[in-house]
Amino acid sequence: MEKRAIALLAFVLLVFTVMPGFASAAQSTGFEKDFAKYLERVSKERGFTVTEADIEYSLSLYEDTLDNFETVEDLEAFLGEVIQKDGRNLRYLYEDYEISKEELGELLAENGETSDDYVFVDDLYQAVDFYLEARIVRDPDFDKNLEIRLKEVSKVRGFTVTREDVVASLARYEESLDNFKTIDRLFDFLGEIIKKDLSNLDYFTDLYDVNKDELLALMKENGLDINDYIFIDDLDQDINGFFEDMYLIDELSVLMEEYGLTMEEMDRLEAHFLSIFETMDDETLEQIFNLADRMMAFEDFDTATELTPKEAAELLSIYKEFISIFQLKVDFSLIQDGTEKPLSLTALFNLTELVNADLKISLYNVQGEFLADLIITGEMVDSESLHDTGQALSNGTDKPTPAPVKKTVSSDTTAPATVKGGELPKTASNYGMGALAGLFIISGGIFLFRKTRATSLEK
């Protein structure tokens, strides 16, 4: 990965923070009205009243929340098919698990549930899978059968695959052999084996539009060896980021030009931030995460909510600490009718609209050397920018994070989740907040991307 991608990724995060229409994936206008209609429609299909709490519970099974969806259409696509009140669309579930309607009822009753506890087909599938697995007794010859299967896997892969290889693969997903009761379930979880002749790497052609030779070349460029991989899913996990980075580079070149950043400015920003990364210690890293947590406290200041003098002082304190960590000097100015007027932080906080004007953010290093100008135009951004920025930073790679999760529910023992200054003006949003969040992100975004990439390549 070229260093240019680091700067470009930071820039897109910055743009998404301050750019109209992209800020923080805010829910669309009319979401509540559309959501009410959705609940009414789902209730009619399901045969009983479905509430917002029911939807939140369903989302919690996948560690998600309603706030993360911009439109009801997105929400509906994620939750999937509703269980019909007469159960006619459960036919495939009965076939897949070879159970009858009566047996399904008995299975749910064993676990204190009925089919009326479920609204969506996918959720019921997940529960049935888990409950049926709980009935299975671990294969008494598990270790013996594992050795037999490993010989078969070795033949397909073209080299000896050991128990230790399987253990290492499972560790990617925070799983272990003890979590599987049968060999079939174990290898269902691990997924497709890479063939000796690499003929099934065409999976990546369909997924990323890259042929086998291009894939192998890309892996070599990034220090990866195909012979270190046994399973398609493990390889996909490691190379997915490369293609996302390429997509960002292509898409962001246009945005960079639109927002007035030149390649020379990007070069200077890149050099500045990389010089800081080289000397950043663990104590400074922890300071960044603490600042991120503090930023998340500003989640709800929008729509007629005021920041108290204490809260305003806290936000300014966060801003100053970020500027100090990333060794920046920042000037704000308003450009109108060809005239540029400097803006203080106080004036910036109180700037609620841009009418026939542009907001310019000028970045310098602490020696006063110019780095870049960013021109901001358009509608206002909301407080969600600050919350999302803090959340992104607090989810950095040097803090404990969830392991990658396989899409299919295959592990035998993991249950699905069951947890159903001065006072600022009252405005729907505020340019000062957006500008500050943008500055946090342009520094923090580059930092996290670099840490993530370094961690990935070290594995």
**Are 160 and 274 part of one and the same domain?**
no
- Same-domain check for residues 209 and 110: no
**Residue 241 falls within a domain, yes or no?**
no
Helix (H), strand (E) at residue 90? none
Is the entire prediction scored with pTM above 0.85? no
The pLDDT tens digits of the residues spanning 202-258 come to 989 888 888 999 999 989 998 999 999 999 999 999 988 777 666 656 665 666 666
- Whether residue 122 sits in one domain with residue 63: yes
Q: Are residues 74 and 101 in the same domain?
A: yes
Domain assignment of residue 240, yes or no: no
Q: Between residues 247 and 262, which one has the greater pLDDT? A: 262
Per DSSP, the residues of 365-416 read ETT--EEEEEEE-SS---THHHHHHHHHHHT-TTS--PPP--SS---SSPPP
- Tell me what pLDDT residue 447 has: 44
Same domain, 158 and 53: no
Q: Which domain holds residue 194?
A: 142-235
Higher local confidence (pLDDT), 116 or 414: 116
Mean pLDDT of 268-280: 79
Comparing CA positions, the residue from 275, 235, 300, 260 lying closest to residue 11 is: 260
Strands of the 358-365 sheet, one edge to the other:
339-343, 328-336, 358-365, 370-376
377 compared with 302, residue with greater pLDDT: 377
Residue 435 shares a structural domain with residue 305: yes
pLDDT tens for 149-159 read 999 999 999 99
Q: What's the one-letter identity of residue 191?
A: G
Per-residue pLDDT, 29: 61
The answer on pLDDT for 272 being more than 90 is no
The last residue of one of the domains, among 75, 109, 135, is 135
Number of domains into which the chain is organized: 3
Among 135, 169, 203, identify where a domain stops: 135
Query: Is 454 buried (19+), middle (13-18) or exposed (0-12) by CB count in 10 A?
Result: exposed
Do residues 150 and 94 share a domain?
no
Calculate the alpha carbon distances from 130 to 108, 122, 127, 135, 423 in Å. Answer: 11, 13, 5, 9, 53
Is the model more confident about 453 or about 330?
A: 330
